[in-house]
Structure 1
Amino acid sequence: MPRWSETRRALSLLAGQGASLGMSVLADQLNRASSISEGLLGCERLWRPVGRRELTDS
């Protein structure tokens, strides 16, 4: 599976289901990281399990 930060699909999984929470997590990860790339990977690491559950349950 490609990295979500490269395919721009990360937030589409959250649309209408707490996108503000997703943005908050992204902002936190970008703030903590030493680079944008590192921040995007950190956000992906946190949200990938959520996305997998959503896809499995649907």
Structure 2
Amino acid sequence: MSQQPAPAPARQPLDEHAAASARAYAADQRARVDVLASVLEDIAANGITIVAYVEA
């Protein structure tokens, strides 16, 4: 068995529209994850508020 890593597969470039869409999706996901990380950091630093649900 060889100890050398397998060669990387060839990549096919995206067209301009697909590349722009991928970048926009990545930016959106990055923003969502940043918000989630901020919420989790706040919970870690300050605890979590327990809200009681009351039926009307």
TM-score bin, normalised by smaller chain: 0.3 to 0.5
| Higher alpha-carbon Rg | 2
Structure showing the higher helix proportion among its residues: 1
TM-score, normalised relative to structure 1: 0.33
